[in-house]
Structure 1
């Protein structure tokens, strides 16, 4: 089996966990979307432009930044990982501009759907197209609800530890500013938690 086919099958398997995949749509996914290796720091979507693509992450990590209403700087609010579908909720395929920045933070393998290809999916596979749109919105809403819960019920220390437990590799891929933005913490609070947890780990090592 060649590598591209293996990547496509991985995408089909992951999507099938979230929604039904017909044989016809499966065959389409095996031959149509382009597969590419995107180098670290490559930008997938520029600020204030019309989204023209939908992506599936085969391997790697993708970051999203949005403009802060307070600082007017672009701050990290979302990451996508292997097995996830990437799009811009509410504006994908509507020809509306989206003021977000999407880039990769390590060499990443992506399967890319163009605007034209997605239009074909809508026409030929309306149920699957609706499911893909639902998945995009559900992923975003899940992140929002999780953030609201964490801000309400978890301490800074618990939020930092949760991030480390779930996305340990992320710590070495992105900046302190990225991680603090993602957790909705100040840089000072983030650094404080980082030092506290590192101190605990070092203390346990010395005690052995």
Structure 2
């Protein structure tokens, strides 16, 4: 896979600037705590109980974060595609072991951002701090609150219909198994829902 470092960092900078403008001084220090790497399809960015000290920007590819219960059943918590960030935030902030896994669904290129050094830069740069706040508000508070509400109060068909709209741009890249595990249902149940919706058209 071809890696153009300038293009990758430009994508990362543009993504961060979409939340708030990052100054040249901040950006120069920020780039120094970043590492570009490739992750092959089905490989893990990190696994359950790994001690991780990075958050990652997806330049190319697709990932899912998931947990497995005592019966070996997988529950997919989220998907991360180009210009999104993934990382074990609870584990990073509490300095504990990670309680989920992140797996590449496609061959991917990511930028790992050293979390310890990132926290140091947050204390140094106000623009980076504002970016951090705005990103967390959008992706870790508003979206997570809505997803928790839906899982508890909406039935499976309603969740699936909402999923089709929310993830329309990556549907062709997801397997039915991954979709079912995100919705918290079996692939068989998902198949029944899809057939029911088709019959209503």
In the superposition, the TM-score normalised over structure 1's length comes to 0.76
Q: Which runs of 5+ in 2 are unaligned?
A: none
Q: CA RMSD in A?
A: 3.1
1:149-207 Cα deviation digits (max 9, x unpaired): 43466553343233223324644444433212212334333111222344566xxxxxx
Deviation of 1:100 (Å):
0.7
- Partner residue, 1:75: 75
**SS of structure 2 residue aligned to 1:92:** helix
CA contact (8 A) 2:20 2:127 kept: no
Gap change, CA 1:141 and 1:120, over 3 Å in 2:
closer
Say if 1:56 and 1:126 are closer, same or farther in 2 by CA, change over 3 A: same
On the 8 A contact 2:47/2:100 being kept in 1, the answer is yes
- 1:206 maps to none
What is the 5 A alignment of 1:35-54? 35-54=36-55
Q: Which residue of 1 aligns with 2:140?
A: 140
Gaps of 5+ in 1: 202-208
- Aligned pairs for 1:1-208 within 5 A: 3-30=4-31, 32-68=33-69, 71=71, 73-92=73-92, 94-115=94-115, 117-118=117-118, 121-122=121-122, 124-125=124-125, 128=128, 131-132=131-132, 135-136=135-136, 138-151=138-151, 154-168=154-168, 170-199=170-199
Separation of aligned partners in 1, 2:9 and 2:123: 21
TM-score when normalising by structure 2: 0.79
CA contact (8 A) 2:45 2:103 kept: yes
Identify the range of structure 1 (102-111 vs 141-150) with the bigger mean alpha-carbon deviation: 141-150
Matched residues in 2 for 1:181 and 1:143: separation?
18
CA contact (8 A) 1:12 1:29 kept: no
